[in-house]
Chain A
Amino acid sequence: MDFQNDVKLSDVRLAAQEGFESVEHAKRYTTLGMATDQGKLSNINGLAILADSLNLEIPQVGTTTFRPPYQPISMGAVAGDARGALFKPIRKSPIHGWIEQNGGFFEQVADWRRPYCYLQKGESVKASVQREILNTRNHCGLLDASTLGKILVKGADAGRFLDMIYTNMMSSLKIGQCRYGLMCSDNGFLIDDGVVARLDEETFLCHTTSGGSDRIHAWLEEWLQTEWWDWQVYTVNLTEQYAQIAVVGPQARVILERLGGMDVSREALGFMQFKDGMLGGIPARAFRISFSGELSYEIAVPASLGQAFWDKCLAVGKDLSIAPYGTECLHVMRAEKGFIMIGDETDGTVIPQDLGLHWALSKKKDYLGKRAQQRSHMQDKSRWQLVGLLPLKPKSVIPDGAYAVDGTVRENGVKNMIGRVTSSYYSPTLNCAIAMGLVEYGPDRMGEVIDFPTTDGRVIQARICDPVFYDKEGVRQNV
């Protein structure tokens, strides 16, 4: 009778028999007419059956409350809009069109599409990634980082609020300075990371991961609206207001100097500082931050000027071998530096302590997740912890997610696992395979060799090492 809610004739008769004589009761007992059509297909028949069961005329039974759709429209008017190119909204950065026309090999990053690499004519994906890495490390690379989340936090209690949101202290950040911060859930697990910049006494700009901007904005609002409603803090999600372009590599400063308009020298704009001004005639905020370990600036410009700024960088850097690079190059370069990535080194079960990030956990203040991290299981010394892994055969890249085994067998007959790979790449910079992984007692086992059996029956052996593979002193970014 009701095709949407699968209500049968016998159900309505049973309702009458059980004493649900009022039409409203019969409706709730059977779910008749409660689907999205609000009974437009079934109610009249249902009422007739109820009336028949009660030996009444239909008008005596009455009708349930009438709800929209009051008037019929064709199904085509409202159904099936999510198909073809409109199946799912794709978020596009201000540079998206250029990337599409210039060899961008896209990957999905949340609802965004970002270039994994830029394919040149006849080039393989692998060769393209290696070229981009070497070019950025030796000359200059350009990254579209517009998808990074940017949340503005302002108010008299903004510092106090961010001290609760981040594991490290943000209220002590000086105006004009940047600080890398970690966010944990109330269960202590890492949920996001990024650089915070203090714009003025009351205002902070919080960068989130590309996939995290909406989720983290909602997270901030939830705490402000439900728990700390009396704190003076407002937030606005400014992610799409700016195109953010990273100018990276030994020639990065020369590129910006050629654009002109702002002093970006080591003295005027030190590492982890930012400055507002003009670059190439475009209003810009230059952040001297580095996710690659190279001399690096991230330049935020109004989104409507993003393409213009991008074009200017390419034009002035032509003879310096400037070239755009994609997300895989970004990933490899950060792994070479031992920088963690939310979603690679973390999977919702990882706490900062597992990743050796104790330095970012304030002892002087409370923060979301702090209490949870004091639970016995979180303090357990045998938790899998972050280490670097160098395969003994330098060309053997360990498959992502591979498990390490110690040769023993658990009671249930499964090989005993003592860790897993979280990031694994071939490093063209170091000319060998590198990986990061979480390993039981990892940091206490430096120099030990452990086994990673692969699904195709091989065993890759790797030596446990420090996760920073390249330029541990940070000489390259600090020039």
Chain B
Amino acid sequence: MSRSVLQGAKFRGLIKVSEDGLVGMISLRCDLKSVAVARGVRAALGLDLPDVRAIIYGRGGRAIAWMSPDEVLVLCDYTAVAGLVKKLDKALKGLHFMAVNVSDARAVFTLSGAGVRDVLAKGTPFDMSKFGVGEVARSRLGQVAVAFWLSDEGTARLVCFRSVGEHVFEWLRVAADKTAGVGFYQD
């Protein structure tokens, strides 16, 4: 019954673009410098808090990504969200924080292929030449806000708001059109 915005739509051009379907996401706002918060997050998620602009991976696709000086995004299984929010609420009880399910508010895409940097560079002002695996960019793609990171040298994951999911998919289709190669980062 549950439907992600593009229901797993795919496109193959200069790179492969696919919508990831429903992905579990928790927005966690807290003091990222607090030892007590870090301890609570570790207890609840088994993950450390990431450094500025970093993403840390755990087991089973779980990850935690830096979003701002007082916000991280937890990625997990769609069905695991409610349980993890509960764990965070328990582990951080008494501290100032907010953990909230934002899975349905977003769309997530996987971009794969050697041209990933070239395609992203068309839409983001972020300097892709210095962007490495393990880093997170909160930027824009074309006209909309996105966050993205490289899971490996040839694969990026990109998150945008659900309401513009179709727009982002169409944007990627144009940018990754077979005839639209730039050959800047990749020949």
Contact = CB atoms under 8 A, between A and B. Distances in A.
A300 B166 CA distance: 22
Given A74-B182, A238-B105, A302-B104, A82 B142 contact: yes
A304 B4 contact: yes
A77 B104 contact: no
Interface string A75-99: 0111001100110111111100000
Interface in B86-110: 96-98, 100-106
Interface in B79-136: 96-98, 100-106, 122-123, 127
B13 to A, nearest CB: 14
Contacts of A238: 100, 102, 105
B171 A236 contact: no
B142 A303 contact: no
Given A78-B122, A241-B102, A241-B104, A304 B22 contact: yes
B143 A234 contact: no
B3 interface: yes
Contacts of B1: 282, 305, 308
- A78, A88, A302, A303: most-surrounded residue (chain B CB, <10 A): A303
Contact of A236 (B96, B98, B127): B98
B142 A240 contact: no
A71 interface: yes
A154 B163 contact: no
Contacts of B123: 81
Interface in A196-248: 232, 234, 236, 238-242
B33 interface: no
B144 interface: yes
B161 interface: yes
A59 interface: no
A112 B162 CA distance: 12
B162 A240 contact: yes
A446 interface: no
A234 B97 contact: yes
Residue of A73, A92, A241 most packed against chain B (CB within 10 A): A241
A152 interface: yes
A86 to B, nearest CB: 6
B184 A88 contact: no
Contacts, number: 98
A375 B174 CA distance: 55
A30 interface: no
Interface string B146-179: 0000000000000001111011001100110000
Interface in A8-34: none
A305 B2 contact: yes
A155 B2 CA distance: 31
B23 to A, nearest CB: 11
Contacts of B101: 241
A156 interface: yes
B174 A236 contact: no
Contacts of B100: 152, 236, 238
A307 interface: yes
A90 B30 CA distance: 32
Contacts of B53: none
A81 B167 contact: no
A94 B166 CA distance: 11
B102 A234 contact: no
B29 A236 contact: yes
Contacts of A88: 143
Contact of B170 (A85, A156, A302): A85
Interface of A: 68, 71, 73-74, 76-78, 81-82, 85-86, 88-94, 112, 152, 154-156, 232, 234, 236, 238-242, 282, 302-305, 307-308
11 contacts: A73-B182, A85-B170, A94-B3, A155-B96, A234-B96, A241-B101, A302-B2, A305-B1, A305-B2, A305-B3, A307-B3
Closest 10 A/B residue pairs (Cβ): A91-B163, A303-B104, A240-B105, A241-B105, A234-B98, A234-B29, A304-B2, A308-B1, A89-B167, A77-B182
